[in-house]
Amino acid sequence: MVSEMADPAWLLTRLSAVSTTKIDEMDYGRLMAAYSHLTPAAWQPTSLRRASPLVHHCLPDLRNAAQKVLFPQLKRGLPAANLAVRQEHLTLPRKLVLAFPATYTALRLLTD
């Protein structure tokens, strides 16, 4: 299981990158570089176990109007030519909300 989580752990460290020059600021260069790895091709072979920590970490960006980082990634995946990729872009957030309903009460519409 440890080796299975190596790639998600690598991405999580970059999605949590803090600036080394400004107090209480994210390192947006590393953050955006990490988000660029979350392509439809990268999600397709990913298991729910590997994807859940990433989606759980990224969902606040969906709701954060100031950053709006994840929403463009989801929008890019939805028109993908591959049906499985499109389904995963819709299924993973739904499963996350089902797994953590108290955390994502505002996103409960995804579970209907």
Instruction: Tell me the CA end-to-end span of the chain in Å, nearest whole number.
Output: 32
Return the ∠ at Cα 26 (arms to 10 and 24), rounded to 5°: 130
10-residue stretch averages of pLDDT, the chain, 112 residues long:
82 90 85 82 79 81 57 68 76 76 78 75
Q: Map out the domains of the chain as residue ranges.
A: 3-111
Using a cut of 0.85, tell me whether the model's pTM lies above it.
no
Contact 94, 48 (CB under 8 A): no
- Return the pLDDT at 96: 74
- Return the pLDDT at 61: 67
Is 69 in a helix, a strand, or coil? coil
